Amino acid sequence: SQTIHQWPATLVQPVGSPLSLECTVEGTSNPNLYWYRQAAGRGLQLLFYSVGIGQISSEVPQNLSASRPQDRQFILSSKKLLLSDSGFYLCAWSQAGADNEQFFGPGTRLTVL
Amino acid sequence: GENVEQHPSTLSVQEGDSAVIKCTYSDSASNYFPWYKQELGKGPQLIIDIRSNVGEKKDQRIAVTLNKTAKHFSLHITETQPEDSAVYFCAAQSLRDDKIIFGKGTRLHILP
């Protein structure tokens, strides 16, 4: 069966510090991968998605970036965090192609102080 | 691109009564409409989905309806129970790409 992991689960970082959140998927190959942000009391905002290694689509211009160094690894990064980057970050995967369920990871709660 | 609107943002329902959450979408090419439930501090989980070739789908106490002409789809929960309290998201996916666009969510409270 497939599983999706995210770490860390919780992170508190000062403004201006770098960020690296990691997501890995097990039990499948060539998945589509997604990063979402969920601000307090708000919906799911799609940040990045990837249909293959090295292929990243950015949905929202901001100070975040994403990379996919391996087939089942998706990394969310920032060189300098802003207060507005605080939120709940969710990674998700789906089988390639449309019409497929997205499976979400447990999320990372990021607080920028 | 696709835009999904979801109403209401908050819903309080007496235990045992029914709850209805409504969504609209903008892209006529959308053909897949999942519903997710998110419990506090966790990632969303799929509870039911419907594809554009079907008008209604039911799974025990949960049902979804789809009106492609009006671009509306709804979630119906009957005989609500305390464990139904959560945030619910509707979503739509277009044939054009692999992105699922989510509504802003509905916080459902089941009152004792």
Nearest to A97 among B89, B98, B101 (CB): B98
pLDDT at residue B96, as a whole number: 75
Mean of the pLDDT values across residues B3-29? 95
**pLDDT at position B94:** 79
Average pLDDT, chain A: 92
Q: Do A99 and B32 touch (CB under 8 A)?
A: yes
Q: Stretch A11-19: mean pLDDT, rounded?
A: 97
Determine the pLDDT at residue B18.
98
Across-strand partners of B109? B12
Residues of A in contact with B35 (CB under 8 A): none
Per-residue confidence (pLDDT) for residue A60, from 0 to 100 = 80
pLDDT at B91 over 90: yes
Residues B86/B43, Cβ–Cβ less than 8 Å: no
Query: What are the chain B neighbours of A49 within 8 Å (beta carbons)?
Result: 98-99
- For all residues of chain B together, what is the average pLDDT? 93
Question: Is A92 an 8 Å CB contact of chain B?
Answer: yes
Asked if residue A101 has pLDDT above 90, the reply is no
> What torsion do the CA atoms of A68, A71, A73, A77 make, to the nearest 10 degrees?
0
Indicate the pLDDT class of residue A41, thresholds 50, 70 and 90: low
pLDDT of amino acid A2: 85
Q: Is the pLDDT of residue A100 over 90?
A: no
**Residues of chain B contacting residue A106, judged by C-beta atoms under 8 Å apart:** 42-43
pLDDT one-digit tens code per residue, B35-70 = 999 998 899 999 999 988 889 999 999 999 999 999
pLDDT value for A25? 96
Q: How far apart are CA B21 and CA B7, in angstroms?
A: 6
CA A30 – CA A46 distance, rounded (Å): 20
In the predicted structure, residue B77 carries a pLDDT above the cut 70: yes
| C-alpha span between A92 and B105 (Å, rounded) | 17
The answer on pLDDT for B76 being more than 80 is yes
Please judge whether A102 and B49 are an interchain contact, meaning their C-beta atoms are less than 8 angstroms apart: no
For chain A, percent of residues with pLDDT exceeding 90: 77
Residues in chain A: 113
B39 to chain A: closest CA residue: A106
